[in-house]
Amino acid sequence: MTDVGDRITGLAAALRAHGVRIGTGETVDAARAVEALGLADRERLREGLAATLLHGPGQRVLFDPVFDLYFPRGVGGPEDAPRDREALRDRLAEALAADDRAMMARLAAEAVDGLGGYGSSPGSDGWSAYQTLDRLRPQTLLARVRADVRGRDGNGGAGFADRLLDDEIRRRIEEFRRLVGAEARRRVAERRGRDEIARRGVRPTADRVDFLIANRDQLTELRRAVQPLARKLATRLAARRRRAARGTIDLRRTLRSSLSTGGVPMRPVLRRRRPVRPELVLLCDVSGSVSGFSDFTMLLVQALHDQFGKVRVFAFVNRLDEVTGLLDHGRADPDGLSARIRAEATLTGWHGSSDYGVALGEFAERYGGAVGPRTTVFVLGDARTNMSDPNLPAVRELARRARRVYWLNPEPRDRWGTGDSAAPAYAKLVEMHECRTAAQLSALIAGLLPV
């Protein structure tokens, strides 16, 4: 039992390293769950540990790979695995056609063992999921599996649902790729210690990925999170608004009304709040380096648009243009957003690199009227001016006219001011916040957005 205990505490520690907050109480519960469930059924064990250790649905994507490391399906490589690529592909096609999960898992183990090893044999130095998939090429099995399934049904693909077949097979192949990844991680962990692999080899959740290094998949995943996140932020804003509406005591009117009760203030009079809907202006740097960050923020603010009187969004690289219309709800195809902005708005002049000074100057000149005493301005960008003039007077003027100006910088704070970054200079004029991940962004938005 001590070994199981070690595994549970190791699992909890690895999850903590990924930012899941697990207390001792949960670890004890997890152990009790293992006791109640026994070790016979791995999937039940997985669910039981997830129920006791996790607190939210977002943590599940982290939990599964870590669980696979601490409670592996098996130990070592499969026995007498055939090293024949073609035979493996044949069997894989069959398993995919039948949607046989158990078989797919076994084939993943064999594939990693046979095709994924690198280094000096025998007993290779490591296993690579990338190499396995590159040699096995499961994606090329699509046509074959499709024919196989159709042949099996015998109707030659006449049914309506048949048109969904390709997507279904693609999803199965994706599942197989995931299995191969998990298997390779497990094999490497056997060699190098699972604590280390659990910390480094498991991808963090999308909302904790750095905007600047996120890959395409992670950005897509983030975009999908926009709507639920916006809903959450909207309730948080509504709560803040409600609290703010309680208001402070209006001393003058309280004293005035106390005269009717002989100078005793029986009923405090609260200061009335003017019902204004705050206005929002977004200035987004959409140049290559920070476009992932800007896209996400634009979509998020657009999803929150009914919280504000007016939202205007401007994009720039070294020239600036209004893109509010491009973000409209009906037209919003989030995946193509950046391409559409680049195609339909004039963002670049003579060269293609970002120039904050010129863009901010152009904003002040052309759209100065968009900013008034009710407007909160968010500037999104890394403040890297490519050695040109940062145009501080324009920012000073902006800060003077707007209600508040915030600058959200996707770079880590310790990189501000290095190289061509004008961040410290801007930060002296307006409030600048580090905003590297979606989690940080939602915390900032919940705190900073005007109510």
Q: Label each residue of 57-103 as H, E or C.
A: HHHHHHHHHHHHHHCCCCCCCCCCCCCCHHHHHHHHHHHHHHCCHHH
Nearer of residues 59 and 375 to other proteins, judged by Cβ: 59
Q: CA nearest 173: which of 140, 203, 202, 148?
A: 140
Residue 262 identity: G
CA distance 53 to 208: 19
Nearer of residues 299 and 371 to other proteins, judged by Cβ: 299
Q: How far is the CB of 47 from other proteins (least distance, A)?
A: 4
Q: Which of 39, 87, 147, 164 binds other proteins (CB under 8 A)?
A: 164
The interface with other proteins within residues 57-96 (CB under 8 A) comprises 57, 60
Q: How far is CA 266 from its chain centroid? A: 53
CA distance 446 to 283: 19
Contact call for residue 116 and other proteins (CB under 8 A): no
Contact call for residue 250 and other proteins (CB under 8 A): no
Contact call for residue 241 and other proteins (CB under 8 A): no
Q: How far is the CB of 101 from other proteins (least distance, A)?
A: 10
Contact call for residue 235 and other proteins (CB under 8 A): yes
Rg for the chain (alpha carbons), in Å? 28
Q: Which two tokens stand for residue 209?
A: 């990925």
Contact call for residue 276 and other proteins (CB under 8 A): no
> Between β-strands 404-409 and 320-322, what pairing exists: parallel, antiparallel or unpaired?
unpaired
Stretch that binds other proteins, among 70-78, 128-136, 327-335, 414-422 (CB under 8 A): 327-335
Contact call for residue 167 and other proteins (CB under 8 A): yes
Nearer of residues 84 and 153 to other proteins, judged by Cβ: 153
Residue 344 identity: E
Q: How far is the CB of 44 from other proteins (least distance, A)?
A: 5
Specify whether the CB–CB gap between 278 and 308 falls below 8 A. Answer: yes
Q: Which of 4, 29, 253, 396 binds other proteins (CB under 8 A)?
A: 29
CA distance 306 to 325: 15
Contact call for residue 42 and other proteins (CB under 8 A): no
Residue 142: exposed, middle, or buried by beta-carbon count in 10 A (0-12, 13-18, 19+)? middle
Stretch that binds other proteins, among 210-218, 221-229, 318-326, 387-395 (CB under 8 A): 221-229
Q: How far is the CB of 166 from other proteins (least distance, A)?
A: 10
Q: Which two tokens stand for residue 78?
A: 């499969």
Contact call for residue 339 and other proteins (CB under 8 A): no
Stretch that binds other proteins, among 55-63, 131-139, 284-292, 307-315 (CB under 8 A): 55-63
Nearer of residues 41 and 365 to other proteins, judged by Cβ: 41
CA distance 233 to 308: 13
Contact call for residue 160 and other proteins (CB under 8 A): yes
Using CA atoms, how far residue 54 sits from 65, 303, 388, in Å, is 14, 29, 49
Q: Which of 33, 237, 281, 441 binds other proteins (CB under 8 A)?
A: 33
In the block, residue with structure tokens 């979509």: 299
Cis peptide bond N-terminal to 122, omega within 30 = yes
Total residues binding other proteins (CB under 8 A): 41
Stretch that binds other proteins, among 141-149, 165-173, 401-409, 410-418 (CB under 8 A): 165-173
User: Which ranges constitute the DSSP H helices of 304-355?
Assistant: 337-344
Stretch that binds other proteins, among 49-57, 291-299, 339-347, 387-395 (CB under 8 A): 49-57
Residue 102 identity: A
Q: Which of 83, 137, 152, 171 binds other proteins (CB under 8 A)?
A: 171
Nearer of residues 6 and 47 to other proteins, judged by Cβ: 47
Q: How far is the CB of 165 from other proteins (least distance, A)?
A: 9
Q: Which of 64, 94, 100, 168 binds other proteins (CB under 8 A)?
A: 168
Q: CA nearest 141: which of 205, 188, 85, 194?
A: 85
Count CA within 13 A, CB hemisphere, residue 43: 2
Q: For binding to other proteins (CB under 8 A), which residues are involved?
A: 21, 23, 25-26, 29, 32-33, 36-37, 41, 43-44, 47-48, 50-52, 54-57, 60, 159-161, 163-164, 167-168, 171, 224, 227-228, 231-232, 235-236, 239, 330, 334-335
